[in-house]
Amino acid sequence: MTKAVQKITMSPSRDIPFDKLVLSQSNVRRIKAGVSVEELAEDIGRRGLLQSLSVRPVLANDGTETGKFEIPAGGRRFQALSLLVKQKRLAKTTPIPCIVRDAASDILAEDDSLAENMQRVALHPLDQFRAFVSLRDKGQSDAEIAAAFFVTPQIVKQRLKLASVAPALLEIYAEDGMTLEQLMAFTVNPDHARQVQVWDVIHSSWNKEPFQIRRMLTETSVRASDRRA
């Protein structure tokens, strides 16, 4: 007998005035980490809110809705919005995009908060590099890119250096075939053919330290029979 496929129902989205929102005690994030609330507020002020808040109706003791909504997932965004309101850069009645979970949902508020924080994946350095290159090609300076994404100009410069690495080696790095430190070592010599030659010599060697890669790339030649391999 064919088992019936359970249909998935998505929670509806709606705009809710900021002054109808409150931070939930079910939010699992307690320790500050990553981009600060002040930096996040500046980013929201610059480009707007990129991700909706996840909210649930606040119920009275008799189970009726109070008109308020608590936020178990999206607390830092709410705190950043609160800062903008405090700075009088955002009106208290500004509609905020929200995903509204049913108050009677079987999914706990803590579950939503934990899932949102644990399922977040940091951007791969190679994706950072490609995005930074795209922004630079469209006229943004290293300093402007760094300021927009709350990283140091040194990080931007480091990622942009990867433009001098052979595409074949970038693909090996993307497949976890080498570390970021090893990949950065190849930037000392922009000769792509030489870079690939060095990697072919050392990739199966016991000594693949970044300093060894830099040393071989700055030598006048590299022999396939080099005893270090």
Condensed to tens digits (0 to 9), the pLDDT of residues 54-77 reads 999 999 998 899 999 999 888 889
Distances in Å between the alpha carbon of 217 and those of 12, 43, 100, 130, 213? Answer: 57, 41, 57, 24, 6
Supply the mean pLDDT for the chain.
86
CATH of the domain at 52: 3.90.1530.30
* Cα–Cα distance measured from residue 91 to residue 48, given in angstroms and rounded to the nearest whole number: 14
pLDDT band at 200 (very low <50, low <70, confident <90, very high): very high
How many domains is the chain partitioned into structurally?
Answer: 2
In which band, very low, low, confident or very high, does the pLDDT at 204 lie, cut at 50, 70 and 90?
Answer: confident
Place 121 in a pLDDT band, splitting at 50, 70 and 90: low
Can you tell me the mean pLDDT for 16-21? Answer: 96
Tell which residue, 96, 83, 97, 73, has the closest CA to residue 41.
83
pLDDT at 170 over 70: yes
Q: Is the pLDDT of residue 218 over 50?
A: yes
Asked, for residue 224, whether it belongs to a domain, the answer is no
- pLDDT recorded at residue 128: 87
6 found inside a domain = no
Lowest mean pLDDT among 77-86, 88-97, 106-115, 190-199: 106-115
By 3-state DSSP, what share of the chain in percent is helix, strand and coil, each rounded to 5? 45, 15, 40
User: Are 132 and 115 within one domain?
Assistant: no
DSSP state of 3: P
pTM of the model: 0.68
Full domain range(s) for residue 140: 125-218
Residues 146 and 185 in one domain: yes
pLDDT at 222: 47
